[in-house]
Amino acid sequence: MRYTQNDSTERWNCNADAWHRNFGGEDPNRRDLLDPIIFETLGDIGGKRILDAGCGDGYLSRKLAKRGAVVTAVECSHRMLALALAEEQPDPLSVTYHNGDIASLPFLADRSFDAVVTNNVIQDAADFEGAFREFSRLLQPGGIYLHIVNHPCFSTPVFGWVKDGEGKKLYRKVDRYFERGPFLVPWSPKSGMEPTIAFHRTLGDTVNSLISCGFRLLQLVEPEPPESWSILYPERLDGARIPDFLVLVCKKEKTYV
Ligand SMILES: C[S@@+](CC[C@H](N)C(=O)[O-])C[C@H]1O[C@@H](n2cnc3c(N)ncnc32)[C@H](O)[C@@H]1O
């Protein structure tokens, strides 16, 4: 089956409440791996105009706003957006939310942002090149695009842990790396989430598209588990032998034309 952006969005509508329950608060991957990189990279964000593209339930938008950023957030799933709005009601932070596809943002003005973040979004978006073109248009020269994604080298159309008879992880299986396009991503049964749809592209596809959209790659990070996990979450360390995430810090040098 050839899945589309609409199929991906529909899956996120169905999964929104389970996502919010599992990852809307203190998730260790967020708290220990990704949030520190986001805030270190963006530095002092007081007064900075930041676009949280694919904001989900607004987890990152709220954190950015609490640190003084002027946050605009875009999300294609209406259910995710409803959760974001509900979270803000008791504690208004002036985040501006839009329902839309990050590959087409005509309601946002050219050069109107200092930074754009996609926090685990692009793998779920059908038109990654369209999104990069929009981010290039929306950023002021020198602005930062922070691209955080499921690592494309280890999350491919065929992937998963090969286990022994007792369930011990032996090694990570990765196949069909060059098979671009949509595939189903299973989630752990205890999350209560139905499979989502990811759109695979290679690391080269992503980096070359960023370059052709006018970005310069400043840094590539593969977040490693902190020491504290050996005491706090020893069960996570086994799975953390392979990076789940890839972070690309990009600077806009010229606008895509
Ligand atoms: C894994 S969730 C991450 C949500 C959020 N960034 C976070 O950190 O909690 C991916 C989100 O990207 C959204 N998304 C996927 N494709 C999109 C698109 N083309 N435009 C806008 N949002 C999109 C999904 O609806 C979903 O809410």
Query: Across residues 163-180, what is the average pLDDT?
Result: 94
**Residue 179 Cα to chain centre, angstroms:** 21
Q: Is the pLDDT of residue 256 over 80?
A: no
What CA–CA distance (Å, rounded) separates 13 from 99?
A: 12
CA–centroid distance, 229 to ligand 1, in Å, is 27
Ligand 1 pocket by C-beta < 6 Å: which residues? 5, 8-9, 12, 54-56, 59-60, 74-77, 80, 101-103, 119-121, 124-125
What CA–CA distance (Å, rounded) separates 230 from 225?
A: 9
What CA–CA distance (Å, rounded) separates 11 from 75?
A: 13
Residue with CA nearest ligand 1 atom 8: 119
**Residue 257 Cα to chain centre, angstroms:** 25
What CA–CA distance (Å, rounded) separates 88 from 81?
A: 11
188-200: pLDDT as tens digits: 999 999 999 999 9
202-224: pLDDT as tens digits: 999 999 999 999 999 999 999 99
Residue with CA nearest ligand 1 atom 25: 77
28-55: pLDDT as tens digits: 999 999 999 999 999 999 999 999 999 9
Secondary structure (DSSP) of 96-145: EEEES-TT--TTS-TT-EEEEEEES-GGG-S-HHHHHHHHHHHEEEEEEE
78-110: pLDDT as tens digits: 999 999 999 999 989 999 999 999 999 999 999
Query: Across residues 126-149, what is the average pLDDT?
Result: 98
Report the pLDDT value the prediction gives residue 26, as an integer from 0 to 100. 83
CA–centroid distance, 203 to ligand 1, in Å, is 20
List the Cα angle 133/246/216 in 5-degree steps: 40
The maximal CA–CA distance of the chain, rounded, in angstroms, is: 56
Report the pLDDT value the prediction gives residue 240, as an integer from 0 to 100. 87
Per-residue DSSP letter, 187:
-
What CA–CA distance (Å, rounded) separates 59 from 75?
A: 12
**Residue 204 Cα to chain centre, angstroms:** 18
Closest CA to 87 of 31, 7, 23: 23
What is the rounded average pLDDT for all residues in the chain? 95
Nearest ligand 1 atom to alpha carbon 125: 16
Residue with CA nearest ligand 1 atom 10: 121
| Confidence band, pLDDT 50/70/90 cuts, at residue 257 | low
Q: Which domains does the chain have, with CATH numbers?
A: 5-151+202-235+243-252 (3.40.50.150)
